[in-house]
Structure 1
Amino acid sequence: MNENEQIGIKEVLQSFRHWRNLFALIWRANPSYLMRVVLIYLLLGVTPIVTLVATKKLIDGVIAGQALAAMGWYVGILVFKQALTIAQSYYEGLFQQLVANAVQEKIIEKTTQLSLADIENTDVQEQLKRVQQEAMYRPYQMFTQMLNVINNVVTFVGAVVLLISWKWWAVLVVALTTGISFYTSLRINQEQFKIVYERAAKQREAWYYTHLLTFDKTFKEIRLFQLGEFFLTKFKAIYRDFYIVDQKIAKKRLNWSAASETLNLVALISVIYLAVREAMRNVFGVGNLYSYVQGISLTQTSAQSVFSNILAICQHNLYIEQLFVFLALPTVEPKLLSGVQDVERIETFEFRDVSFCYPGTEREVLHNVSFSLQRGQCIAIVGRNGSGKTTLAKLITQLYAGYDGEILVNGESVRTLDVEQLQKRIGVVFQDYVHYEMTLRHNIGLGNTETIEDDEKIWEASEKTGIGSFVRNLPHQLDTELGRWVVKGEQLSGGQWQRIAIARAFIRNADLYVLDEPNSALDPIAEFEMFERIRDLLRDRLGIYIAHRLASARFADRILVMDGGQVIEQGTHDELMALDGQYAEMYNVQTNLYEVKA
């Protein structure tokens, strides 16, 4: 939707094409509850007319001196109506939660199907934000609005049948004035939807300021640099602008509502006056007067309810549209072939003239990158910031697909391989590894979910990374909760979290390991110990190690030097030092940083 696009009746009607998908989603939540809720709404639609008729008979019975029988019917109807209301509250409370859970599951399921490029796309993030904010509760609200339409149509038809026997044109007067009110409200709601739709980017910005001010990883710097007031001011400015716009639309709604409600009230009073005048002339009795007055009121209120519920449905549909647009969102990357060939064991891995641009851009982040390695070998990739090292890791792990050239496993293009099977053969430690707010068992076992309950394998991975003694000293050892977001668990240092991330990669028992700066949070002694363990791990595997500290790259069989997305040098440490190129320059600069000046 662009800035100048208007939301008209046509667009609203087009959004109803998702009704079938919405009903399918609600049906899957719980068919039994769905049918019960529908039945309750239908019965509630009949009760106002039945109550009106019973009341008329009660009044006539009192006048005729025969009120006892009429009283029994009247009380029975009240009890039945109350029972329906209780049943409605019970089933709706449960069913609403089931529907919300079903929607949440669909959204999460969709995000797992998107590529990394999609998740990093701003437009996709804004679409996801809209869905998370609005679509979670609107499906069930829209469903109940539909039922309310049916409910009130039943009531309206009953009231119309009652009034037609008296003044058929009274129905038209009430319906016409209500229709005018509906149209004006529709236009205002469409305008309000456009405002909310265009706020997604600003709402994400406001959420980000809230995240900065409340997230434990950012709180230290926020407090030290005294940035709290700075970000709070920006947050308040966004919501101040929101309020100014909301105030304008609220005033417009107030003015139009006052005018339309005045028109409705004049029409209602006029028709009731006619009924009272005819009753005073003895055209009909008191019971009939009551039924006509209540019939007029029911006609207007049910017509208003039908129109207002249709209006709400239209509004919900505009948001539901966003849900199904998101669920139908295609990935921006070419589809990776899946299920063509299984990968049982990686023996060789090769990049052959691989070039890559991030989706939506034209600048090559990688250009004609070529290298190969085989089981038992490890290569280190070094280079200045922005040289393409981390992007290379994402392509190796098949997180991006839109590249030129070939990536080969055992001599076969990865485009012909089952991607999920291939990824299961790869262990990885990313530079921005995840802190899972779960137990230590899960933090390690998530590298291979089949091992989560296997204490022996988790302890083995802990020992391999040198954190065995640390784990034994935790309050509940493997079952110790980590982090402070979900529960009050143990808060770890950066180096401890990084070792756990490495253990998570080790437990995968993969063929190919991609380690993106796995020593960034380690002290020199821990770093030396870790590389000794990594060497043991990679002894009969393939290893790709991305390094910023060049001294740690010396253990690799071969070193690739990247600059500007290209491999500009490669060889062993001694060969590259003899070449006296960029690697030698960077190595000498880093070495000099550690020299003690006399």
Structure 2
Amino acid sequence: MKVKSLTPKKVILGMRQVLFTFSQTAKLVWKANPRLLVAVFLANTLIGALIFPVFYLEKLTIDVLIKNIGNPFWQEAIKFLAWLFFIRVTVGIFQSGLMRISGYLRYSIARVFSGYIDILLAEKMSSLDMTTIEDPDFKDRFKKVERESGRRAWELAMPLSNVPNYFFGLLSTFSLIFFFKPIVALLIFLLAIPEFFIDAKYTRIEYQFESGNFLKYRLWGWMSWYLTTAKSFLETKILKLSPYFLKKMNEIRDEIYIKALKIRRQREGAHFLTYLPQNILTFFFSLYSGFLAIRQVITVGSAQMYIRAVYSFQNNLTGLVGSFLELYENYLFVTDLIWFLNLKPTITSGKKKPPLKIKKGIEFKDIWFRYKEDQPWVLRGLNLKMAANQSLAIVGENGVGKTTLIKLLCRFYNPQKGEILIDGINLREFNREKLWDNFAVLFQDFGNYPFTARESVGYGKIEEVNNLDLIIKSAKETSIHDFINKLPLKYENPLSPELEKGIDPSRGQWQRIGLARVLIRNAQISILDEPTSSVDPKSEEEIFNKITKFVKGKILILISHRFSTVRRANKICVMKKGKIIEEGNHQELMEKKGIYAELFELQAKGYR
């Protein structure tokens, strides 16, 4: 893999990226838990700063021992040594305690930071609008952030908390060596610089390698998911897909990991070569210190202190460089994370409150809409009116814009042209949060919440999630109460086999739970997108009789391919190519003998 050589400009850019990553990570950790950050910085600062007094105490001890060898008046020397040993042990205990505290704090900060990032991602995601969320470019970039957030949070928190330890350890030992021989201190520092360049180079190589194999990692993830998820067991067994997927995974593993190991070998080999000059310098410095001690220019304790300082300086420098490089490796993740956290909703909310009771109804006036500028129009000059107490059914082939119409009404998107009115007021003027309070929607891909049955129904009106009487009432309206009541834990029973005592409702049962969630809202506008596609005809009849009574006097919008359901609506609209081409009640449309009549007869033949 070819990598361009490092230039001064690239080195400066790399240092800026390190500092950017360090500062942004510190800001995020500070927001997550400022006390933890201060505590871990303080503990590691003290650990690094204690190197100097520890080395100096050991120097004094050695010098006193050598000076008093054979001294007949040893009593005074023993007293002094006792004090030195006592202070050294006390410092050692303090140092050991700090290291244990630091370990606990580093673990805590990594756990807290990881959880904070997860919550931050979820909170930010919930604040964005559909225009952003459904954009393919956004999806690709966000998926990368989401997939790596857990691992990267730990990789950022750990080196961040280690920096003070290595920095102050480096400062202590550098001061000792510089005080003794300034030229040696500078040489040690200069000889350590190639290590940084080597690490920076191979960090870039490894990043390019990982990025180049991104698609293979995604394929690996999908195949692993199908092999390990209970939901896909039946099909993978029947189709005998497991051997095929395992073969593909082995091929990916061999292709990726052999190359990855080769890069790692090269990195470690380069590291070894950069350490050689440092070790040679350390050898000659140690020899020189020993020579000065023999010549009595310095004491033996001083020689030992300086030699230890050199080794400690190298270790701390390696640790500091390593910590910064770990941060550098996470630069792109942090850049993507900051990009995501700085995103703003593209749809602004109005200030008006929606009417407490809709009187005139809803109107779509000359609506034109497409999801992206380079895509075809989904809705083309669509016009539609519905009265305040009307039930409306929308039919048409897949892809004609039925669900898009609902997304616009809920103001997940704004139309490029035209306006949508409630009681003559443009949707853009309403506060979106207040507007949503007036909607109860069962989307085609509604949520199957695995939590308790009570919660799964109660989420329809979150402030009533503990109101069991109201939840039971809604469950009875959709004929799901008897099913829930027979569960081992009744309404407290989880709705997933992956949870303790959890069960797996059928698709039809999930739809009834979803409908109960809609009814509990008791909203002015109810929208049902294919609400009974998985319910048997008899149950469908029973459910819709109850729903019709429940929403009487309110607006009901129904999207369905089942004409046994559609024919109940006061008004039926047929959509084609983003427009409404037919409208009326069932009888009127049958008499027109148009598309609706044709589709109805075609479906009716299937039941004869």
Q: TM-score range by the shorter chain?
A: over 0.9
SS at the partner of 2:41? helix
Question: Aligned pair in 2 of structure 1 residues 439, 105: CA closer, same or farther (>3 Å)?
Answer: same
How far apart, CA to CA, are the structure 2 residues paired with 1:217 and 1:578?
47
Question: Aligned pair in 2 of structure 1 residues 244, 80: CA closer, same or farther (>3 Å)?
Answer: same
- Pick the aligned partner of 1:32 from 19, 31, 35: 35
Q: What residue identity is the alignment partner of 1:61?
A: V
Asked whether 1:63 is paired with 2:77, we answer no
**Which 4+ residue blocks in structure 1 deviate beyond 6 angstroms?**
3-7
Asked whether 1:207 is paired with 2:209, we answer no
Higher mean alpha-carbon deviation, 412-421 vs 33-42, is at: 33-42
How far apart, CA to CA, are the structure 1 residues paired with 2:109 and 2:457?
37
TM-superposed deviation, 1:44: 0.4
Question: Aligned pair in 2 of structure 1 residues 234, 402: CA closer, same or farther (>3 Å)?
Answer: farther
Q: What residue identity is the alignment partner of 2:226?
A: L
SS at the partner of 2:606? helix
How far apart, CA to CA, are the structure 2 residues paired with 1:114 and 1:486?
30
TM-superposed deviation, 1:402: 4.5
Q: 5 Å matches for 1:87-106?
A: 87-106=101-120
Q: Is the 8 A contact 2:21 2:330 kept in 1?
A: no
How far apart, CA to CA, are the structure 2 residues paired with 1:161 and 1:11?
29
How far apart, CA to CA, are the structure 1 residues paired with 2:318 and 2:486?
68
Unaligned runs of 5+ in 2: 69-76
Q: What residue identity is the alignment partner of 1:210?
A: S
Partner of 1:175: 189
Q: Is the 8 A contact 1:171 1:299 kept in 2?
A: no
Partner of 2:347: 335
- Pick the aligned partner of 2:378 from 331, 340, 365: 365
Partner of 1:316: 330
How far apart, CA to CA, are the structure 1 residues paired with 2:532 and 2:432?
28
Higher mean alpha-carbon deviation, 216-225 vs 583-592, is at: 216-225
Partner of 1:511: 524
Question: Aligned pair in 2 of structure 1 residues 122, 298: CA closer, same or farther (>3 Å)?
Answer: same
Question: Aligned pair in 2 of structure 1 residues 47, 19: CA closer, same or farther (>3 Å)?
Answer: closer
SS at the partner of 1:350? strand
Q: Is the 8 A contact 1:433 1:501 kept in 2?
A: yes
Question: Aligned pair in 2 of structure 1 residues 202, 411: CA closer, same or farther (>3 Å)?
Answer: farther
Question: Aligned pair in 2 of structure 1 residues 420, 258: CA closer, same or farther (>3 Å)?
Answer: same
TM-superposed deviation, 1:143: 5.0
TM-score between both structures, scaled by the size of structure 1: 0.92
Q: Is the 8 A contact 1:343 1:418 kept in 2?
A: no
Asked whether 1:159 is paired with 2:162, we answer no
Higher mean alpha-carbon deviation, 135-144 vs 399-408, is at: 135-144
How far apart, CA to CA, are the structure 2 residues paired with 1:43 and 1:4?
41
Q: What residue identity is the alignment partner of 2:408?
A: L
Give the number of equivalent residue pairs: 591
Higher mean alpha-carbon deviation, 16-25 vs 316-325, is at: 16-25
Partner of 1:220: 234
Q: What residue identity is the alignment partner of 1:344?
A: L
Asked whether 1:570 is paired with 2:583, we answer yes
SS at the partner of 1:447? helix
Partner of 2:471: 458
Unaligned runs of 5+ in 1: none
How far apart, CA to CA, are the structure 2 residues paired with 1:174 and 1:90?
33
Q: What residue identity is the alignment partner of 1:499?
A: R
Q: 5 Å matches for 1:394-473?
A: 394-473=407-486
Partner of 1:12: 14
Q: Is the 8 A contact 2:24 2:334 kept in 1?
A: no
Partner of 1:50: 53
Q: Is the 8 A contact 2:26 2:160 kept in 1?
A: no
Q: Is the 8 A contact 1:382 1:559 kept in 2?
A: yes
Question: Aligned pair in 2 of structure 1 residues 306, 417: CA closer, same or farther (>3 Å)?
Answer: same
TM-superposed deviation, 1:200: 4.7
How far apart, CA to CA, are the structure 1 residues paired with 2:549 and 2:10?
67
How far apart, CA to CA, are the structure 1 residues paired with 2:305 and 2:340?
50
Asked whether 1:109 is paired with 2:112, we answer no
How far apart, CA to CA, are the structure 1 residues paired with 2:169 and 2:178?
14
TM-superposed deviation, 1:527: 1.1
Asked whether 1:41 is paired with 2:39, we answer no
How far apart, CA to CA, are the structure 2 residues paired with 1:125 and 1:224?
33
How far apart, CA to CA, are the structure 2 residues paired with 1:5 and 1:497?
59
TM-superposed deviation, 1:360: 5.5
How far apart, CA to CA, are the structure 2 residues paired with 1:323 and 1:300?
34
Q: Is the 8 A contact 1:8 1:190 kept in 2?
A: no
TM-superposed deviation, 1:266: 2.0
Q: 5 Å matches for 1:119-138?
A: 119-136=133-150, 138=152
Question: Aligned pair in 2 of structure 1 residues 85, 230: CA closer, same or farther (>3 Å)?
Answer: same
Q: Is the 8 A contact 1:351 1:371 kept in 2?
A: yes
Question: Aligned pair in 2 of structure 1 residues 565, 530: CA closer, same or farther (>3 Å)?
Answer: same
Q: What residue identity is the alignment partner of 1:262?
A: L
Higher mean alpha-carbon deviation, 529-538 vs 124-133, is at: 124-133
- Pick the aligned partner of 1:278 from 292, 299, 302: 292
Question: Aligned pair in 2 of structure 1 residues 338, 240: CA closer, same or farther (>3 Å)?
Answer: farther
SS at the partner of 1:368? strand
SS at the partner of 1:364? coil
How far apart, CA to CA, are the structure 2 residues paired with 1:306 and 1:279?
31
Q: 5 Å matches for 1:182-197?
A: 182-197=196-211
- Cα deviation, 1:388-442, whole Å, max 9, x if unaligned, reads 2222222222222354211111111101111111111111111122110011101
Question: Aligned pair in 2 of structure 1 residues 486, 119: CA closer, same or farther (>3 Å)?
Answer: farther
Q: Is the 8 A contact 1:129 1:204 kept in 2?
A: no
Q: 5 Å matches for 1:467-506?
A: 467-506=480-519
Higher mean alpha-carbon deviation, 492-501 vs 574-583, is at: 574-583
Asked whether 1:229 is paired with 2:232, we answer no
TM-score between both structures, scaled by the size of structure 2: 0.91
- Cα deviation, 1:294-352, whole Å, max 9, x if unaligned, reads 12212222222332223223223332222111212345xx4232334444333311111
TM-superposed deviation, 1:222: 2.8
Question: Aligned pair in 2 of structure 1 residues 221, 11: CA closer, same or farther (>3 Å)?
Answer: farther
Question: Aligned pair in 2 of structure 1 residues 499, 39: CA closer, same or farther (>3 Å)?
Answer: same
Q: What residue identity is the alignment partner of 1:63?
A: I
Q: Is the 8 A contact 1:337 1:419 kept in 2?
A: yes
Q: Is the 8 A contact 1:45 1:154 kept in 2?
A: yes
- Pick the aligned partner of 1:529 from 534, 542, 558: 542
Asked whether 1:388 is paired with 2:390, we answer no
How far apart, CA to CA, are the structure 2 residues paired with 1:593 and 1:252?
69
Question: Aligned pair in 2 of structure 1 residues 231, 365: CA closer, same or farther (>3 Å)?
Answer: farther
TM-superposed deviation, 1:291: 1.2
Q: 5 Å matches for 1:257-296?
A: 257-296=271-310
Question: Aligned pair in 2 of structure 1 residues 22, 412: CA closer, same or farther (>3 Å)?
Answer: same
- Cα deviation, 1:183-235, whole Å, max 9, x if unaligned, reads 11111112323344455554444333333334444333333333333444444
Partner of 2:320: 306
Percent identical pairs in the alignment equals 28
How far apart, CA to CA, are the structure 2 residues paired with 1:389 and 1:252?
58
